[in-house]
Chains A and B, each alone.
Chain A
């Protein structure tokens, strides 16, 4: 469980995280979603006691991170997979982490197995690909068998197999009752992994809801339709109160009526449909709907002060 209260971080006059409060619950994957520079990484660094909040507080299992005894046994985190001294082997990198928190070194072999790096355990980390580094970073996060896990953009640099693997790993960690907090700016990936969403924009929490609620609440499903008598159909649907957009390829995108109702309208007027497809509301759509109303990201003035995503 991670709890933030009025968490705030200023860099000079710029505000990277602005009065943020949330509680990340155990037993589910919570996605931390927001554009680059929105304050995700800064928030995560404050959770880990790396950056000191300007105001407010954040605790893990009720304690500020810096007061945890052997913190790797409570919290595992992957912030930047490339942030690693390259001369050491993967196994030795995990060994010092184990030593630092009194974790049995047998755990090193176990976590290397879990992430599929056993074969390269003795290889210098400097020779690793980004994907291998991500796996090593996840092994490092798991070293203390912690009940809270935090991953910042863990799928960057992974191939499709790796992405699927991470998705399943996150879900199974949550299913074991752990708190899993995962940041990403990749919407489609988040939609498939997270159960709950925390959306941040310009340093402020703009949504804290289950994935389902978030999508339903912020995006209406639409139907894509084409007919031989396109104009007649558009008129008929408009009379029924539908909102109609057209696409460059000539199809209509209809919101406010479902595909059954549109089919009925077409039948009533003897219109021949050549295409009728329901578009499920997507996370991406919901996200853009929400952020269009809430904020304007095009200024980009925060990106320079938050040290990465």
Chain B
């Protein structure tokens, strides 16, 4: 067993929290990108988002002739083209974040994780950071391609807007930020619920269920629901019942931070 004798560069112990954080981030990133299912899910999310966005746009365009004047006024070609992302893509991408926590609880590997990193809040923060950092560029790509595809569909009816149109670029970027925040929310719900199916359902309920359930709430409250806030983040036309995009991002951020904080407390105080 001479092979166990260390022949590697001298190890420098460092007790700094920043070192521990950067090591945990690196480990969580390694975990995240070495799962083949991460990439399968990512491709699925991209394809589904773009295809669904194009279908939504085609449907809108075909109904244009029969739409009322008020419907035409509130028509938002940007938000419509991004519909695939903020209705379905977000749930698929957030499920990656959920699973980064729940898969470890399901298998028991969470014990290896907490043995390697006993400061458990670092683990959850790192999972949230890695998920959000991965999801942001993916969502941005989805938004850019969906926007472009949607505007090409609308071009047939001369309904298209361009990138240069005020608010368009902001909607594309804020939409991606919003999806990243939902991913952080997913890590939080994953840590609280600890079961893949349960936590994924919770994320979907929060986004889609919020919109459905929201019909029964007064508009003043409804605009603060996560799903409605995500819609507001990608909406260019100011419309009644939706927050300003910047406010919507702040609201989503509060949801994400609250869920993550709750998960941190729960995970830290439980036996693993």
Binding site for B on A (CB under 8 A): 45, 48-52, 65-66, 68-73, 75, 77, 79-80, 82-89, 92, 95-97, 99-104, 106-107, 110, 113-114, 140, 142, 145, 169, 172-173, 175-176
Q: How far is the CA of A201 from the CA of B214 in the complex (A)?
A: 57
Tell me whether B111 and A83 are in contact (CB under 8 A).
yes
Return chain A residues, CB-CB under 8 Å to B104.
85
Tell me whether A87 and B115 are in contact (CB under 8 A).
no
Q: How far is the CA of A65 from the CA of B114 in the complex (A)?
A: 11
Q: CB < 8 Å: which of A72, A79, A114 contacts B116?
A: A72
Tell me whether A86 and B107 are in contact (CB under 8 A).
yes
Return chain A residues, CB-CB under 8 Å to B24.
100
Tell me whether A99 and B108 are in contact (CB under 8 A).
no
Tell me whether A140 and B112 are in contact (CB under 8 A).
yes
Tell me whether A176 and B1 are in contact (CB under 8 A).
yes
Tell me if B23 counts as interface (CB < 8 A to partner A): yes
B28 to chain A, nearest CB (A): 8
Tell me whether B34 and A95 are in contact (CB under 8 A).
yes
CB pairs A–B below 8 angstroms (17 shown) = A48-B111, A49-B118, A50-B111, A66-B118, A71-B116, A79-B111, A83-B107, A83-B108, A84-B112, A85-B31, A92-B34, A96-B28, A96-B31, A97-B27, A102-B11, A110-B3, A142-B4
Tell me if B216 counts as interface (CB < 8 A to partner A): no
Known: A65-B118, A89-B34. A83 touches B112 (CB 8 A): yes
Interface size band for B: 35 or more
Return chain B residues, CB-CB under 8 Å to A142.
4
Q: How far is the CA of A121 from the CA of B3 in the complex (A)?
A: 18
Known: A71-B118, A85-B107, A100-B23. A52 touches B271 (CB 8 A): yes
Q: How far is the CA of A169 from the CA of B4 in the complex (A)?
A: 11
Tell me whether B4 and A145 are in contact (CB under 8 A).
yes
Q: How far is the CA of A232 from the CA of B118 in the complex (A)?
A: 69
Tell me whether B35 and A88 are in contact (CB under 8 A).
yes
Q: How far is the CA of A172 from the CA of B5 in the complex (A)?
A: 12
Q: Which B residues from 226 to 272 make CB contacts under 8 A with A? A: 271-272
Known: A51-B271, A145-B6, A172-B1. A96 touches B115 (CB 8 A): no
Interface digits, B25-57 against A, CB 8 Å rule (1 contact, 0 not)? 011101100111100000000000000000000
Tell me if B109 counts as interface (CB < 8 A to partner A): yes
Return chain A residues, CB-CB under 8 Å to B23.
70, 99-102
Tell me whether B1 and A102 are in contact (CB under 8 A).
no
